[in-house]
Structure 1
């Protein structure tokens, strides 16, 4: 499947919130990297073909989690691709070597993510494959940040604040996918799920422990914080002392899709059903009720 580019008239919004008629759960699900609508000018500026440029995409993750909405939880999802703009970074993590012109003085040009080519405006897709044929104008990067990045985070923050106000606390589940194998170690297969809570800093331990238990009982292998402890979104929004909890969930792509041709496999439906079971089990803990108010800010 190859999505059409975002129309020049912006008929398709860059992101959306799929909300239940009535939010019954203190959860907000977020899929920031599953966008598959590639702007035509971006494709024209890239040196990659349509298959290669998708290597950093969390393909179908938004669709896997879409069934949480009928349970009573909103799902926020990006339509723009991660290769075009990464909202799981600081707003100005930018590589000066990518641009024709001088970056603003407040840009973070020295982060490890920038060094790896995966800043707010990525230089590479996975496997360190360069995206752009020529340097970008600084104004282009700033336009993406002002026009899409900041509205995305404003919408996400609004969802979380409304959820906390309604339930006394909020749990952000940041939804991602990962390659099935470790390319630097051929033959080594990753766990089915990796849960990231910034080593206990972004959510109450009861939430991460329960998530791991539920997934294990569903028959999956689960790792914690390695190799993914959570990105900017988990770190920025996860403030347990304030009643805001954030947990990153990475799904092994080999569970539900063909990683070579980007097509869902026959197991997609089963994994999607297990995601619903996972969300339902979390929302019902402990003892058939919602999470205790002890997890909220005092």
Structure 2
């Protein structure tokens, strides 16, 4: 699990990323590399740190062939790719930061781009981090990741006129009676056209799963940054109830993972088949009225 940080790639990319497909799937929170400096400076054991992962979401995408799939290499506790680069907590560092800072609600909750808290609200670091660490992590992983997403999506749009990013996550089982098992986020209609959301929702409902839109998760930094329907690029965040595929206590896959994996593969196949209709400009204009 712990490797030499100098040789650990920031992501794993499979499939054809040259624009031949209109889709891109991303898993920003399934990274399992915990740099030695993180482990040495943390007050938590590795299993406690891993509670912050969207564990094995990347494995749910393994059956997808051809279409590009990009999965994070580094653990979310080290750097959260679904936060804006400036979402930093200056109080976590031993000196002034040389990068822009925005203390958002997520930062105040301990969940900035360099998180203060892991799962169950546990403090990650035993001491202040070096001030230089913020700029180093952002330059080494965060910027290249989002630049790569932008490049793949731009190539797809160039070839197809439109493109779709599906940002894949997992969530703890929501509370309440008959809670959703799948939550789709399009930033309340701002990051993807309605027909795309309707097709994805219908797909998961056909599997018998309860589906909600934008509550409790409406989409994070990735969806907001890359989803620009007016420019031909759409983005949808998918949150999958971990209980559907994972033992959340031991963080191991169970038999349900095969069904979720099949559902994700079938979703890609359906979107590819329907993409000429789903991405038609006239349809978007009608749906927006």
**How would you bin the TM-score normalised by the shorter chain?**
over 0.9
Q: 1:25 — aligned with what?
A: 21
Instruction: Give matches, 1:36-51, under 5 Å.
Output: 36-51=32-47
RMSD, aligned CA: 2.0
Match of 2:83 among 86, 89, 94: 89
User: 8 Å contact 2:97–2:132 — kept in the other structure?
Assistant: no
**1:5, distance to aligned residue in structure 2 (A):** 1.2
- What SS does the corresponding residue of 1:137 show, helix, strand or coil? coil
How many angstroms apart in 1 are the aligned matches of 2:146 and 2:240? 23
Q: 2:122 — aligned with what?
A: 129
How many angstroms apart in 2 are the aligned matches of 1:223 and 1:156? 26
User: 8 Å contact 2:17–2:152 — kept in the other structure?
Assistant: no
How many angstroms apart in 1 are the aligned matches of 2:43 and 2:172? 23
How many angstroms apart in 1 are the aligned matches of 2:282 and 2:48? 43
User: 8 Å contact 1:53–1:83 — kept in the other structure?
Assistant: yes
User: 8 Å contact 1:191–1:223 — kept in the other structure?
Assistant: yes
- What SS does the corresponding residue of 2:201 show, helix, strand or coil? helix
Q: 2:146 — aligned with what?
A: 153
How many residue pairs end up in the alignment?
Answer: 285
Gap change, CA 1:131 and 1:180, over 3 Å in 2: same
Alignment gaps of 5+ in structure 2: none
Is residue 35 from structure 1 mapped to residue 67 from structure 2 by the alignment? no
Match of 1:226 among 206, 215, 219: 215
Q: 2:164 — aligned with what?
A: 171
How many angstroms apart in 2 are the aligned matches of 1:249 and 1:6? 30
Match of 2:186 among 194, 197, 220: 197
**1:23, distance to aligned residue in structure 2 (A):** 5.8
Is residue 293 from structure 1 mapped to residue 286 from structure 2 by the alignment? no
- What SS does the corresponding residue of 1:62 show, helix, strand or coil? helix
Alignment gaps of 5+ in structure 1: none
Is residue 106 from structure 1 mapped to residue 103 from structure 2 by the alignment? no
How many angstroms apart in 1 are the aligned matches of 2:99 and 2:72? 28
- What SS does the corresponding residue of 2:203 show, helix, strand or coil? helix
Give me the TM-score of the superposition, normalised by structure 2. 0.93
Give me the TM-score of the superposition, normalised by structure 1. 0.90
Gap change, CA 1:247 and 1:198, over 3 Å in 2: same
**Structure 1 moving runs of 4+ over 2 Å:** 20-25, 103-106, 187-190, 289-293, 295-298
Match of 2:224 among 211, 232, 235: 235
**1:295, distance to aligned residue in structure 2 (A):** 7.1
**1:66, distance to aligned residue in structure 2 (A):** 2.3
Gap change, CA 1:22 and 1:117, over 3 Å in 2: closer
- What SS does the corresponding residue of 2:205 show, helix, strand or coil? helix
Q: 2:244 — aligned with what?
A: 255
**1:290, distance to aligned residue in structure 2 (A):** 5.6
Q: Deviations over 1:236-282 (max 9, x none)?
A: 11110000100000000000010000010011112111111122122
**1:103, distance to aligned residue in structure 2 (A):** 2.3
Gap change, CA 1:152 and 1:47, over 3 Å in 2: same
How many angstroms apart in 2 are the aligned matches of 1:21 and 1:282? 17
**1:206, distance to aligned residue in structure 2 (A):** 0.6
User: 8 Å contact 2:18–2:152 — kept in the other structure?
Assistant: no
**1:121, distance to aligned residue in structure 2 (A):** 0.4
